[in-house]
Amino acid sequence: MKKIFLGIAALGLFIFSCKSSSAGGDSKKVTISFESKSGSNVQGTAAFIEKNGVVSLEAKLTGLKPGVHAIHIHEKSDCSAVDAASAGGHWNPTFKKHGKWGDAEYHKGDIGNFTADVDGNATVLFKTDEWCIGCGDATKDILGKGLIVHDKPDDFVTQPTGNAGARVACSAIIQ
C-alpha cells in the first residue's frame, strides 16, 4: 500500500492518500466501501482491477431489497449528501444518450442492473476496456467518480437516468 503525505502548513493545505495499491507491474487496483444513503441499510465493498487494458469491477452488497437494482458510475466522488445527489449525474464523458451498455448509445457510467437475493445480498461483476484507472484520459478514467447503487432497476430508456429510483449506496472511486 502506498501512503502519500503532502503538507504546506503556511497555506493550510494537506492532502492524505492511503487507499492505493498495485497488484503487479501493469495491474492497478482500487478498493472502495459503500455508504448507506436515502435511509437505506445498504452496505458493501467494490474492487476495480485494471490488467492488460481491461478493468474488472466486483461489488459485493448487503441490505438491499430483494429484486433488481441498478448500478452506475456518477460524475463526482462526492457522497456527502444524505441522498447522494452530491455525486451528480451519470458519468457521460462522450455526451451520449442514456442506454444499455453495448447498445448504440450509453453513458460510460451505465453499468446496468443486477439482482439481490431473498436475503438482500448481491454480487455485481462487470468488465470493460472502455475504462481505465488513473490513466488521465477524461473519456476513460474512473478515478474521481462515484459508484452509486439505486433502489430500482434501470429501464435503459428514460433520459438521462433510466428511472432507477433513489440512490441507496454511494462510494467515491479514489485512491
pLDDT surpasses 80 at 9: no
Confidence of residue 175 (pLDDT cuts 50, 70, 90): confident
What are 86-126's pLDDT values in tens digits? 999 999 999 999 999 999 999 999 999 999 999 999 999 99
**CATH number listed for the domain at residues 19-173:** 2.60.40.200
What are 10-56's pLDDT values in tens digits? 333 333 233 334 444 579 999 999 999 999 999 999 999 999 999 99
DSSP line for 23-81: EETTEEEEEEE-EE-TT---EEEEEEEEETTEEEEEEEEESPPSEEEEEEEES-----S
Spatial distance between the Cα atoms of 123 and 62, rounded to a whole number of angstroms: 9
What are 137-168's pLDDT values in tens digits? 999 999 999 999 999 999 999 999 999 999 99
What is the predicted pLDDT for the residue at 25? 57
What is the predicted pLDDT for the residue at 13? 33
Q: For 107, phi and psi rounded to 5 degrees? A: -75, 150
Q: Global pTM?
A: 0.85
Residues in the chain: 175
Indicate the domain borders of the chain.
19-173
